[in-house]
């Protein structure tokens, strides 16, 4: 029986389509606490791409951006540099939406709502 490599140490699989990565400074005054984390994961779930976030891209841990518990577990404070990477058919759109969301203080009126969702148009769990 082999033990699977922890997710935060495995790179996203480029076999799933395009890959994209970016970094954005957290503008929200409280960082990624409960409500901003919920909004972040809600937007991430709109895309079919695998999406991960980390505070330190070299050592991780990389957290599933669609998991509220994983995102909150980062305990990312205001001013921290959040690294985002995505892999899948809508990776670039997902990254654009999440970077816009964080850059605008995780505000419900941020321009990420105009970004095209996944090809199926359905939310993803």
Q: What is the pLDDT of residues 66-103, one digit of tens each?
A: 999 999 999 999 999 999 999 999 999 999 999 999 99
* 27: confidence class by pLDDT, cuts 50, 70, 90: confident
Distance between alpha carbon 36 and the CA centroid of its chain, in Å?
A: 12
Residue of 28, 33, 93, 104 marked catalytic: 33
Residue 116 has pLDDT above 70, yes or no: no
To the nearest whole number, what is the mean pLDDT of the chain? 81
Bridge partners (DSSP) of residue 83 are 23, 54
Between 106 and 63, where is the model more confident? 63
Other C-beta atoms within 10 Å of 47: how many? 29
* 41: confidence class by pLDDT, cuts 50, 70, 90: very high
The reply to whether 124 belongs to the active site is no
Q: What is the CATH number of domain 16-114?
A: 3.30.1340.10
């Amino acid at each position: 029986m082999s033990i699977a490599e922890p997710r935060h140490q495995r790179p996203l699989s480029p076999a799933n389509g395009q890959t994209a990565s970016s970094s954005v400074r957290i503008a929200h005054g409280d960082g990624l606490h409960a409500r901003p984390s919920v909004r972040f994961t809600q937007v991430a779930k709109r895309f079919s791409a695998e999406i991960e976030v980390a505070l330190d891209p070299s050592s991780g841990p990389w957290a599933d951006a669609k998991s509220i518990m994983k995102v909150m577990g980062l305990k990312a404070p205001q001013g921290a540099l959040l690294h985002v990477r995505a892999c899948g058919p809508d990776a670039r759109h997902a990254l654009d939406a999440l970077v816009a969301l964080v850059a605008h203080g995780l505000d419900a009126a941020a321009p990420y709502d105009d970004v095209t969702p996944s090809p199926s148009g359905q939310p993803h769990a």
